[in-house]
Amino acid sequence: MSDSQTTAANAAPTKPVAPSTPRNPYAIALWGLTAVMLLTAFILQKLGPSKAMYDDGVSSLTFDDTTLLHYNIAAFVFLVLGVVFLLATLLFQASRWKPAAS
């Protein structure tokens, strides 16, 4: 290869490679906590009625309202925590948002 060919190859414009942006671990953790809280609320709400039924030994099955109430309160608490984490996640993402360079 001659010197003129080497210089021409080095002078050729190259397409710039867009840098990959690393994922923010705090945002990933917030999204994960949001999903866990909402999923836990859903599971507790669905699990409550089956756990409120128990065998008391006298009749076949007895329904315990207090157990169902405890499960529903716990599900509501996790639902509220899930919504709070969702709002915190969106606020965190919005505070760090930067418009794309044009």
| pLDDT score for 23 | 77
| pLDDT score for 62 | 83
| pLDDT score for 78 | 97
**In what helix (H) or strand (E) does residue 59 lie, and over which residues does it extend?**
none
CA angle 9, 11, 17 (to 5 degrees): 95
pLDDT tens digits, the chain, 102 residues: what are they? 565 556 655 665 667 666 666 777 888 888 999 999 999 999 999 999 888 888 777 767 888 889 999 999 999 999 999 999 999 989 988 887 777 665
